[in-house]
Structure 1
Amino acid sequence: MKILVPLFLLFFLVTVNAQEREYVTVHKTMKLMGSRFDITVVVLDEEIGYININEAVTEITRIEKMISSWDEESETSLINKNAGIKPVKISLELFKLIERAKQISKITDGAFDISYASMDQIWKFDGSMEYFPTPEEMAKSIEKVGYYNIILNEEDTTVFLKEKGMRIGFGAIGKGYAADRAKELLISKQVKAGIINASGDLTTWGTKATGEKWLIGIANPLSKEKIFSWLPIVESSVATSGNYEKFVTFNGKKYSHILDPRTGYPSSGINSVSVFSKSAELCDAMATAVFIMGKNTGLAMINQLNGTEVIIVDSFNKIHKSNGIMFNNNE
Structure 2
Amino acid sequence: MALPFASHLALLLTTLFGPTPAPTMQAYHFAHDGVLGTSLDLTFTAATPEAAAQAERAALAEIERLRLVLSSYDASSEVSRLLVSGGSARPSADLTAVLDRYAFWNQQSGGAYSARVAPLSALWRAAEAAGRLPSADELTTVTARIATPAWTIDANGVRLLTADRLDLNSLGKGYIIDHALAAAQAAVPTLLGGVINLGGDIRTWGIASAERSAWRIGVADPRAPADNAAPLTVLEISDRAVSSSGRYARGFTINGVHYSHILDPRTGLPANAVAATTVIARDNATANALATTLSVLTPAEGMRLAAATPGVEAMIVGADGVLHRTAGFAAYEVASSAPTATGNVTATVTIDITPTNPNRHRPYVAVWVTDTEGKPVRTLAFWGTKRKYIPDMSKWYGVMSAGARDVIDAVTRATRPVGEYTLEWDGLDDHGTAVKAGEYTFWFEESFENGPHSLRSAALNCTNGAVTGKFETTPAFAGGTVTCSAAK
Do the aligned residues in 1 keep the contact of 2:222 with 2:246 (CA within 8 Å)? Answer: no
2:62 corresponds in structure 1 to 59
The one-character-per-residue Cα deviations of 1:107-127 (angstroms, maximum 9, x if unpaired) are 111211112224362213996
Structure 1 residue 106 corresponds to structure 2 residue 107: yes
Structure 2 match to 1:94:
95
1:198 maps to 2:204 = no
Following superposition, the deviation at residue 218 of structure 1 comes to 4.0
SS at match of 2:165: coil
Q: Deviations over 1:50-74 (max 9, x none)?
A: 1210111011000001111122222
- What is the alpha-carbon distance in structure 2 between the residues aligned to residue 248 and residue 264 of structure 1? 14
| Contact 1:295–1:312 (8 Å) recurs in 2 | yes
Residue 300 (structure 1) aligned to one of 301, 304, 318: 304
Range that drifts further, 68-77 or 110-119 = 110-119
Letter in 1 for 2:172: G
Mapped pair 1:46 → 2:44: no
Distance 1:113 1:221 in 2: 24
Distance 1:251 1:126 in 2: 11
Change (3 A) 1:236 1:90: same
Letter matched to residue 26 of structure 2: V
Give the match for residue 158 of structure 2: 159
Fraction of identical pairs, as percent: 24
In the TM superposition, residue 76 of structure 1 has moved relative to its aligned partner by: 0.2
Alignment-mate amino acid for residue 193 of structure 1? G
- Residue of structure 2 in register with 1:4 after alignment: none
- Kindly indicate whether the alpha-carbon contact (under 8 Å) linking 1:115 and 1:145 is maintained by their aligned counterparts in 2: yes
Cα distance in 2 for partners of 1:227, 1:258 equals 22
Q: CA deviation at 1:329?
A: 4.0
Larger Rg belongs to? 2
Determine the C-alpha separation between the residues in 2 that align with 1:317 and 1:99.
34
CA distance in 1, matches of 2:10, 2:310: 27
The 1:193/1:262 distance shift into structure 2, 3 A limit, reads same
Q: What is the match of residue 124 of structure 2?
A: 123
2:276 aligned to which of 267, 272, 278: 272
**Cα 1:125/1:11, change in 2 over 3 Å:** farther
Match of 2:336 in 1: 330
1:199–1:112 distance in 2 versus 1, CA, 3 Å: same
1-structure distance, mates of 2:77, 2:230: 45
For 1:20, the aligned partner's letter is A
Distance 1:220 1:103, change over 3 A: closer
Deviates more, 1:127-136 or 1:110-119: 127-136
Residue of structure 1 equivalent to 2:27: 25
Distance 2:138 2:205 in 1: 46
Bigger Cα displacement from structure 2, 130-139 vs 274-283: 130-139
Aligned to 1:58, the other structure's residue is in SS state helix
Kindly provide the CA deviation profile for residues 107-159 of structure 1, in whole angstroms up to 9, marking residues without a partner as x: 11121111222436221399645332221110122343146331111x23x21
Deviation at 1:176, TM superposition (A): 1.0
Count, aligned residues? 319
* Letter aligned with residue 311 of structure 2: G
Among residues 79, 82, 93, which one is paired with 2:82 in the alignment?
Answer: 79
Structure 1 residues 230-288: Cα deviation after superposition (integer angstroms, max 9, x where no partner): 32112101111111143357799853111112221111122211111010111111111
Deviates more, 1:207-216 or 1:41-50: 207-216
For normalisation by structure 2, the TM-score amounts to 0.60
The secondary structure found in structure 1 opposite 2:168 is coil
Q: Aligned-pair distance for 1:305?
A: 0.8
Conserved 8 A contact 1:254-1:268: no
Residue type at the aligned position of 1:289: T
Secondary structure of residue in 2 paired with 1:123? helix
Partner of 2:317: 313
Matched residue SS, 1:177: helix
In structure 2, the partner of 1:5 is none
Counterpart in the other structure of 1:150: 151
The residue aligned with 1:174 is 172
Q: Point out where structure 2 has 5 or more consecutive residues left out of the alignment.
A: 338-488
- Could you give the per-residue CA deviations for residues 196-226 of structure 1, whole angstroms, max 9, x where no partner exists? 0000110100111215111123466667855
Q: Is the 8 A contact 2:315 2:325 kept in 1?
A: yes
Structure 1 residue runs of 5 or longer lacking an equivalent are: 1-7
CA distance in 2: counterparts of 1:127 and 1:148, whole angstroms: 28
Cα gap change, 1:271 to 1:32, in 2 (>3 Å): same
User: Which residue in 2 is equivalent to 1:3?
Assistant: none
CA distance in 1, matches of 2:249, 2:279: 20
Amino acid at match of 1:41: F
Residue among 237, 260, 265 paired with 1:261: 265
On the 8 A contact 1:216/1:232 being kept in 2, the answer is yes
Conserved 8 A contact 1:79-1:159: no
**Is 1:14 matched up with 2:14?**
no
Question: How far is 1:14 from its partner?
Answer: 3.3
Shift of 1:11: 4.2
Residues 46 and 160 (structure 1), Cα distance of their counterparts in 2 relative to 1, 3 Å cut: same
Q: CA RMSD in A?
A: 2.7
